[in-house]
């Protein structure tokens, strides 16, 4: 791509670093910004800067939050004895959208993936096992996507908590293996949380 402006080229290069954004799309976005009043670009960059600098991780569930304790963990109406294990905030948002779940979450921050060099120590697994060990958890619901990495992660955690007196279940999804949780429709996802199955049963299948 030949640019007549170095300033334009720099902006396009930065935008095209984002996942799923090629050079052509980046150019279209940047040209769009150029046509808008200067304030639009200011609001955009300010929102990104403030988010980047001030965002926190909930000290209890590790979800992205504006406060030390996220709204879900801080809500006295939520049942803290039921913990839904998810990969990231997108899963929390998807499950919250169903309005079917009244427990809390534990956000792992990813899945075990030897190919990508992500091991259990890179995820919030130890803190989850600690929650179980302390006796504050009565049920763990595994809600990771049913990919090989998701299954591996579920099984690893299951092995760590098996010896404790808790119920482990997995959401029974009516969607095909490999579909990511965030893409599941609300009705299906809501139903699968209500109709969750004992984790042991999922191992036999």
Sites of contact with Zn ion (CB under 5 A)? 58, 60-61, 63, 70, 73
Q: Which is nearer to Zn ion, 12 or 143 (CB)?
A: 143
Phi and psi for 162 in degrees, rounded to 5?
-50, -40
Dihedrals φ, ψ of 155, to 5°?
Answer: -65, -40
70 close to 91: Cβ distance less than 8 angstroms: no
Our CB check for Zn ion shows the closer of 73 and 184 to be 73
Q: How far is the CB of 106 from Zn ion (least distance, A)?
A: 9
Distance from C-alpha of 86 to C-alpha of 63, rounded to nearest angstrom: 10
CB neighbour class for 1 (10 Å; exposed up to 12, middle 13-18, buried from 19)? exposed
Q: Which is nearer to Zn ion, 124 or 147 (CB)?
A: 124
Q: Would you say 26 or 92 has its CB closer to Zn ion?
A: 92
Q: How far is the CB of 76 from Zn ion (least distance, A)?
A: 13
Pairing of strands 64-65, 56-57: antiparallel
Q: Considering the complex, what minimum distance in angstroms separates the CB of residue 146 from Zn ion?
A: 25
- Please state the closest distance from residue 204 (CB atom) to Zn ion, in A: 33
């Amino acid at each position: 791509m030949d640019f007549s402006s170095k300033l334009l080229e720099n902006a396009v290069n930065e935008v095209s670093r984002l996942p799923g954004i090629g050079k052509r799309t980046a150019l279209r976005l940047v040209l769009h910004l150029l046509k808008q009043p200067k304030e639009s670009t200011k609001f955009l960059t300010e929102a990104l800067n403030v988010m980047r600098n001030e965002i926190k991780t909930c000290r209890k569930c590790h979800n992205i939050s504006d406060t030390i304790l996220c709204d879900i963990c801080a809500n006295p109406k939520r049942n803290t004895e039921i913990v839904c294990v998810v990969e990231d905030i997108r899963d929390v948002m998807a499950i919250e959208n169903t309005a079917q779940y009244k427990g809390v979450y534990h956000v792992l921050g990813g899945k075990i993936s030897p190919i990508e060099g992500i091991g259990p120590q890179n995820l919030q697994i130890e803190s989850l096992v600690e929650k179980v060990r302390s006796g504050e958890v009565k049920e763990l619901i595994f809600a990771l996507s049913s990919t090989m990495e998701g299954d591996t992660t579920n099984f690893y955690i299951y092995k760590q908590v098996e010896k404790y007196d808790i119920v482990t279940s997995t959401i029974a999804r009516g969607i095909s293996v490999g579909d990511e949780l965030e893409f599941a429709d609300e009705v299906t996802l809501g139903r699968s949380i209500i109709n969750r199955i004992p984790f042991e049963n999922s191992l036999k299948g």
